[in-house]
């Protein structure tokens, strides 16, 4: 019982009984002989079950340490000079699942971020080491002192740099990458990517020889790079904005070299806001996140989390029990799948009467009428969720926040719950659109 601290070395195992309570910590303090293990030894420790925190104390500089958490909310950290550790360590910290805090040290550290609630703290001076975020999240913004960002998940990715000289790499889908300030190296990877360098002297990494790509300068100053083998599903078509050079596998090409002879350079048109993005999930449980403008988020199957952020977004939860966050802007929450109160009821987390709208498909809500505004007689709000007339089709239970579809109002067909929304709001038929 209580808050336990275990001081361990190489080969030690910590067993903490479930239900003992408290917050437990492992202090990993290995002792080794440099002559035996060489100048750059590799050390690792993985937290067992029921232990929350891991702190690593190095016995020397030049160590490569791998610290891995578990399914709890872990704190995985490198001990600082204040704690008696003054050595330079290259650490790889992975909290596992859960809302983890990863705290690096003075070396070049790599942080694996798998939850939107993970927190990264880089204790090293800005000019010491080169730190990396490896993330499975569909959107990530680099913190102040981190230089490198790599996407290791599936689906589309939106990555934002900072004012440092960043290296940012996308994945195997259609990514959007923003370099920010600094001289950045940007690589969209496979797919049709949009890359904006921002300030500084930026270049885009292209995985292939120059001869394999067609480069087109557009009227707005952007550049389109087309993989000549894109029909085989490889690198696709990329749109490049505010970038000064391209690095192909066989050499570099400056942007100026793409201009016709005897012509003035065409000024780039800055990307004032991110482009509209469509994110599509799969039959698993996805987390899809938009950006600052209007996006289309489609969860498809599974229990998804959709976050529109800013802009007027279209959120299609699809099948499954989804959580929908429109964010700011006039958002549209779309219901266009087969109704099932047990397996297909969505939760709208932030519906705003002022500007948001609920779209219902008459292919599934078959008796709500034709395309257009929902008619006033087809809507009813009360504290029971029951119809009060034969014309009622959409019923809002003010006490529970549940929305029901009733095919025959006060007839024999029972209403089907299809969503939950905020309780006791002034919802009316004007908040619905039939599609």
For the chain, give every domain's residue range. 5-258, 278-434
Other CB atoms within 10 A of residue 39 CB? 10
Q: Which of 210, 178, 183, 211 is nearest to 193 (CA)?
A: 178
Strands 402-405 and 416-420: antiparallel
- Interval 196-216 mean pLDDT: 85
pLDDT of residue 391: 95
pTM of this structure:
0.61
Instruction: Indicate whether 287 pLDDT > 90.
Output: no
Model confidence pLDDT, tens digit, residues 376-409: 999 999 999 999 999 999 999 999 999 999 999 9
Contact (CB, 8 A) for 231 and 213? no
Q: Which CATH number fits domain 278-434: 2.130.10.10, 3.30.300.30, 2.150.10.10, 2.60.260.20?
A: 2.150.10.10
Instruction: Indicate whether 423 pLDDT > 70.
Output: yes
Model confidence pLDDT, tens digit, residues 148-184: 999 999 888 999 999 999 999 999 888 889 998 889 9
- Interval 217-224 mean pLDDT: 78
Q: Is 5 exposed, middle or buried (0-12, 13-18, 19+ CB in 10 A)?
A: exposed
Contact (CB, 8 A) for 202 and 183? yes
Q: What is the percent of the chain where pLDDT is above 90?
A: 51
- Interval 126-141 mean pLDDT: 84
State the pLDDT confidence band at 249, using cuts at 50, 70 and 90. Answer: confident
Q: Cα–Cα distances in Å, from 198 out to 150, 171, 186, 309?
A: 18, 20, 11, 22
* CA 275/CA 267 separation, integer angstroms: 19
Contact (CB, 8 A) for 186 and 243? yes
* CA 364/CA 366 separation, integer angstroms: 5
State which H helix or E strand residue 227 sits in: strand 223-227
Which residue is listed with tokens 């952020």?
309
Q: Which 3 state secondary structure label does DSSP give 378?
A: helix
């Amino acid at each position: 019982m209580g808050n336990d601290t275990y001081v361990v070395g190489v080969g030690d195992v910590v067993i903490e009984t479930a239900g003992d309570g408290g917050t437990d910590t492992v202090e990993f303090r290995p002792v080794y002989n440099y002559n035996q293990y060489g100048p750059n030894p590799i050390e690792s420790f993985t937290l067992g079950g029921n232990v929350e925190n891991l702190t690593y104390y190095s016995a020397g500089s030049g160590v490569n340490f791998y610290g891995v958490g578990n399914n709890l909310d872990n704190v995985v950290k490198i001990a600082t000079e204040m704690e008696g550790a003054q050595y330079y360590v290259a650490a790889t910290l992975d909290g596992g699942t859960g809302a983890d805090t990863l705290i690096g040290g003075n070396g070049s550290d790599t942080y694996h971020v798998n939850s939107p609630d993970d927190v990264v703290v880089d204790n090293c001076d800005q000019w010491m080491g080169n730190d990396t975020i490896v993330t499975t999240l569909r959107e990530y913004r680099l913190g102040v002192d981190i230089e490198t960002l790599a996407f290791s998940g599936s689906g589309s990715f939106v990555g934002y740099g900072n004012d440092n000289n960043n290296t940012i790499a996308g994945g195997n889908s259609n990514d959007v990458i923003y370099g920010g300030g600094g001289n950045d190296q940007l690589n969209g990877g496979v797919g049709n990517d949009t890359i904006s360098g921002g300030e500084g002297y930026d270049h885009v990494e292209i995985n292939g020889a120059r001869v394999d790509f067609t480069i087109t300068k557009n009227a707005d100053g952007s550049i389109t790079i087309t993989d000549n083998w894109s029909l085989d599903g490889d690198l696709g078509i990329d749109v490049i904005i505010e970038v000064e050079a391209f690095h192909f596998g066989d050499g570099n090409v400056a942007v100026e070299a793409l201009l016709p002879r005897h012509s003035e350079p065409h000024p780039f048109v800055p990307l004032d806001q991110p482009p509209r993005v469509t994110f599509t999930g799969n039959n698993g449980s996805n987390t899809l996140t938009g950006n600052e403008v209007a996006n289309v988020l489609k969860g498809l199957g599974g229990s998804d989390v959709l976050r529109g952020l800013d802009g007027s977004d279209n959120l299609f939860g699809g099948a499954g029990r989804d959580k929908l966050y429109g964010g700011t802007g006039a958002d549209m929450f779309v219901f266009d799948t087969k109704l099932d109160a047990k397996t297909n009821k969505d939760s709208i987390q932030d519906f705003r009467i002022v500007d948001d709208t609920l779209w219902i498909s008459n292919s599934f809500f078959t008796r709500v009428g034709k395309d257009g505004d929902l008619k006033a007689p087809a809507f009813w709000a009360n504290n029971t969720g029951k119809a009060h007339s034969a014309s009622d089709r959409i019923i809002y239970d003010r006490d529970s926040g549940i929305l029901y579809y009733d095919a025959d109002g006060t007839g024999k067909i029972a209403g089907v719950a299809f969503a939950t929304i905020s309780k006791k709001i002034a919802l009316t038929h004007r908040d619905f659109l039939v599609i």
